[in-house]
Amino acid sequence: MLAYVGRRLLSLAVTLAIASAIVFTVMEILPGDPAEVMLGTNARPDTLAALRAQYGLDRPAPERYLAWAGGLLQGDMGLSYTYSVPVTQLVAERMWVSLPLALIALTLTTLIAIPVGALAAAKRNSATDVGVMTATQVGIAVPNFWFAMLLVLVFAITLRWLPAGGFPGWKAGAWPALKALVLPAVALALPQASILARVMRSSLLDTLGEDYVRTARAKGLTRAQTVRRHALRNALIPVLTIMGLQFSFLLAGTIIIENVFFLPGLGRLVFQAITQRDLIVVKSVVMLLVASVVVVNFLVEVGYAAVDPRLRRRV
């Protein structure tokens, strides 16, 4: 098991190194000179040169890559071109919105999808099953920003239970902050939960057709006991794969949802940074998103090994 985790960690490090090189290269190729954006198009050439020298933009690309990557490793993301504050500081503030948002959405996704999918599978072809299949079909088809607006109309404007947007900050207390995240998290989670519930349903149905389920019934387990003790854990293996993939969708989804709800999160930061050609912020935030996806997938793989003994010995 330890050797397995070690190998996975090694591949995680290699993935991050490759991803950082790609992110850096893409940013290099993109047109737009940050110095020109900052000073305007009629700035004098010597002022531009001085600014480039100040941010180290005049040095060769490999050297800048190493400086950037080395900085990332030490938690230093450089200075924002537009705000002239450390990127780390910008990111840290917004992380506390986006990360809880994504985690709440992921938790909601799982909490909705697994019981609903399992129920549909256990009551196959019943009214419950048909209802779940129809509801999830709608959930997948409806885009999350439209769904977000619907939620605002109902829960914020009509019922006035929850705020329609904005974020009071965690200093205002945990409860108001959480309240501000509920609607965005639900909007993010429902389409993903619909997908995951269907995966869970078909996975459990496949598992229920396996020989060892029949063996368990022959031992004297009831149908419910068989599902709980033998089928469920086996059915979770494919579900785990999809969950890992969904996390990146959730992160990408925050870019849209944070704009709909006016949340000062990473998604909004990266959106603004792109329009302002604040490439150092874009680079660093994209890298951060890549890193979180890679780390989540690493956790999924360790989760596999925890669930499935057959994987522990393999490469």
Partner 1 sequence: MALLDIRNLDLNIYGVPVLRGVSLSIAAGETLGLVGESGSGKSMTALATMQLLPRGASARGSIRLDGEELIGRDERAMCALRGRDISMVFQEPMTALNPLKTVGAQVSEVFRLHLGAPRAECDAWASQVLERVGLPPARYAPDRYPHELSGGQRQRVVIAMAVALKPKLLIADEPTTALDVTTQAQILTLMRALVAEDGASLLLITHDLAVVAETADRVAVMRRGEVVEEGETAAFFGGMTHPYSRALLEASTHVPQRRPRVAPGTVPGTAPAAREGGPILVADGVVREYRGRRAGWFRPAGCHRAVDAVTLSVAPGESVGLVGESGCGKSTLARTLLALEAPQGGRILFRGRDVSSLDAAGIARLRRDVQVVFQDPYGSFDPRHKAGRLVAEPLHLLRGEIDAAERDRRIARVLSDVGLRPEDAEKYPHEFSGGQRQRLAIARALITRPALIVLDEPVSALDVSIRAQVLDLLAELQARHALAYLFISHDLAVVRAITDRVLVMRAGIIVEQGPTAAVLDAPQHDYTRTLVAASPDLARALAERRTRAMPAANGRSADAAVPSA
Binding site for partner 1 (CB under 8 A): 210-212, 214-222, 225, 229-230, 233-234, 307-310, 313, 315
Cβ-based neighbours of 187, under 8 Å, separated by 6 or more: 144, 145, 147, 148, 151, 257, 260
In the complex with partner 1, the residue whose CB is nearer, 182 or 237, is 237
The residue assigned the tokens 């850096």 is: 24
Give the nearest distance from C-beta 12 to partner 1 in angstroms. Answer: 16
Q: What is the DSSP annotation of 104-135?
A: HHHHHHHHHHHHHHHHHHHTTTSHHHHHHHHH
- State the amino acid at position 275 in one-letter form: T
In the complex with partner 1, the residue whose CB is nearer, 127 or 174, is 127
Give the nearest distance from C-beta 216 to partner 1 in angstroms. Answer: 7
Number of other CB atoms surrounding residue 233 within 10 Å: 12
In the complex with partner 1, the residue whose CB is nearer, 6 or 166, is 6
Give the nearest distance from C-beta 15 to partner 1 in angstroms. Answer: 18
Pair 198, 136: CB distance under 8 Å: yes
In the complex with partner 1, the residue whose CB is nearer, 59 or 219, is 219
HSE, side-chain direction, 13 A CA sphere, residue 306: 8
Strand partners, 79: 86
Burial profile 139-178: b = 16 or more Cβ within 10 angstroms, e = fewer: beeeebeebbeebbeebbeeeeebbbbebeeeeeeeeebe
End-to-end CA distance of the chain: 11
Give the nearest distance from C-beta 87 to partner 1 in angstroms. Answer: 37
In the complex with partner 1, the residue whose CB is nearer, 134 or 222, is 222
In the complex with partner 1, the residue whose CB is nearer, 27 or 311, is 311
Give the nearest distance from C-beta 232 to partner 1 in angstroms. Answer: 10
Give the nearest distance from C-beta 7 to partner 1 in angstroms. Answer: 9
CA distance 22 to 27: 9
